[in-house]
């Protein structure tokens, strides 16, 4: 079945290089937490490998966020990338994706204050730049729960967390990924350090914009040190309010960050637009201007249709667009876009947690 609108979307099916990553098309699968890691070990397993390999025709898959340490966990059932069992589990995933002709990077995650004492080592408080609780909820065995009050990291602990990121980047390499994406978006630890609503530190990691982006730049340097140039990306969400986040001047903060990231050998910057979970932005933040602030490749996200994505890529506003929710029920999303086929709808009850139902049983078109 041909698309009635002719070649309008063709630009999405052109190959592109994001650093050293070679994508056959511009349709990226956005990272999506699905809460289906093995109970106890929090290791990925065969079902996860099947799920990702079904989606291997994406230009690039960004894995669900994967905590770099137990301290970095904020929800039940999310996979880690810090133990041998988790590395072996991820190896199943990367082998399956590669066997199906795809590419996959691991999204490295530390939730910071978006956690709960019951998930933390020794039942201690979650850590954060400052002891400010997020007015937000996380997900536990017992259902949704308020986040716990965090404690502020002492200065001497910060290099240890950078070292955990570095170890996780090395683990991702051993697990056979094609690169890593640092989760700097949506109110987690990197974001908490960057925005002044959550960072009230008075040392060299707080106060001025250059101090607040220091931790992120150190993590970038550590990851690029492991992977070399062109295989590390970073995700940011300059105006997202998820996780009770805000900043007094996002334009200046993220403008400075993007300028500083330009010379660091990144594969790409992945930007989530908008103030919330869905839709176009109403914040006044200049997302289009990001193109001139960052000299490398750009992936844009949040609520894009294929038409909007093609327009953004066609106008030179980005190199690729990522799609999240449409990939849940449409493993062959790239083909469906190409052929103008209808999309399957998502069963909301099976998005988070569970088994194969609503995970690997959505069928491709034949
Ligand atoms: C089920 C679900 C899980 C998500 N998990 C993550 C995640 O692990 N890491 C992340 O950066 N964003 C996560 N997101 C946000 C998506 O990557 C994406 O930014 C969002 O869905 C908007 O894109 P879309 O309109 O194409 O779905 C998640 C979104 C959904 C729907």
Crossing angle for the helix pair 84-99 and 158-174, nearest 10 degrees? 40
pLDDT at 7: 73
Ligand 1 within 6 A of CB of 63: no
Q: How many CB atoms lie within 10 A of CB 17?
A: 12
Which of helix, strand or coil describes residue 206? coil
pLDDT at 8: 87
Ligand 1 within 6 A of CB of 303: yes
pLDDT at 281: 55
Which of helix, strand or coil describes residue 42? coil
Question: Considering only CA atoms, which residue is closest to atom 10 of ligand 1?
Answer: 31
Which of helix, strand or coil describes residue 353? coil
pLDDT at 119: 97
Cβ pair 338, 57 in contact under 8 A: no
Tell me the C-alpha distance between 128 and 115, whole Å. Answer: 10
Cβ pair 128, 151 in contact under 8 A: yes
Say whether pTM exceeds 0.95.
yes
Question: Considering only CA atoms, which residue is closest to atom 14 of ligand 1?
Answer: 32
Question: Considering only CA atoms, which residue is closest to atom 2 of ligand 1?
Answer: 32
Among 80, 33, 245, residue whose Cα is nearest residue 147: 245
- Which of the residues in the chain have pLDDT under 70? 1-6, 275-283
The per-residue pLDDT of the chain, averaged, comes to 95
- Beta-strand relationship, 60-67 and 104-109: parallel
Active-site annotation holder among 52, 75, 165, 188: 188
Dihedral sign (CA 200, 204, 209, 213): negative
pLDDT at 275: 65
pLDDT at 277: 44
* Residue 51 annotated in active site: no
Q: What angle do CA 267, 58, 242 make, to 5 degrees?
A: 70
Question: Ligand 1 center to residue 157 CA distance, Å?
Answer: 30
Question: Ligand 1 center to residue 336 CA distance, Å?
Answer: 20
pLDDT at 279: 42
């Amino acid at each position: 079945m041909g698309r009635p609108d002719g070649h309008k979307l063709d630009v999405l099916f052109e190959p592109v290089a994001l650093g050293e990553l070679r994508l056959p098309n511009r349709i990226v699968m956005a990272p999506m937490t699905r809460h289906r890691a093995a109970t106890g070990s929090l290791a990925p397993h065969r079902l996860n490998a099947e799920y990702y390999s079904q989606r291997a025709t994406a230009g690039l898959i960004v894995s669900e966020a994967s905590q770099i340490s137990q301290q970095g966990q904020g929800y039940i059932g999310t996979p880690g990338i810090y133990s041998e069992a988790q590395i072996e589990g991820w190896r199943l995933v990367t082998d399956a994706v590669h066997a199906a002709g795809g590419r996959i990077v691991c999204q490295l995650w530390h939730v910071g204050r978006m956690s709960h004492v019951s998930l933390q080592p020794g039942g201690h408080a979650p850590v954060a730049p400052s002891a400010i609780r997020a007015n937000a909820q996380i997900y536990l065995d017992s259902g949704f729960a308020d986040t716990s009050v965090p404690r502020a990291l002492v200065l001497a602990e910060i290099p240890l967390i950078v070292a955990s990121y570095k170890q996780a980047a090395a683990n991702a390499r051993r697990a056979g990924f094609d690169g890593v994406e640092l989760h700097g978006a949506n109110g987690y630890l990197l974001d908490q350090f960057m925005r002044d609503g959550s960072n009230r530190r008075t040392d060299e990691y707080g106060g001025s914009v250059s101090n607040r982006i220091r931790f992120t730049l150190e993590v970038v340097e550590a990851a690029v040190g492991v992977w070399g140039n062109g295989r590390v990306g970073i995700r940011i969400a300059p105006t997202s309010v998820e996780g009770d986040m805000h900043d007094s001047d996002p334009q200046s903060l993220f403008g400075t960050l993007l300028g500083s990231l330009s010379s660091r050998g990144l594969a790409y910057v992945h930007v989530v637009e908008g103030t919330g979970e869905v839709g176009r932005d109403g914040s006044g933040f200049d997302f289009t201007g990001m193109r001139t602030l960052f000299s490398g490749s750009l992936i844009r996200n949040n609520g894009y249709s294929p038409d909007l994505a093609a327009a953004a890529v066609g106008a030179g506003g980005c190199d690729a667009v990522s799609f999240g929710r449409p990939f849940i029920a449409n493993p062959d999303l790239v083909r469906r876009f190409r052929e103008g086929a209808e999309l399957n709808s998502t069963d909301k009850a099976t998005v988070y947690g569970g088994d194969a139902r609503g995970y690997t049983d959505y069928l491709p078109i034949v």
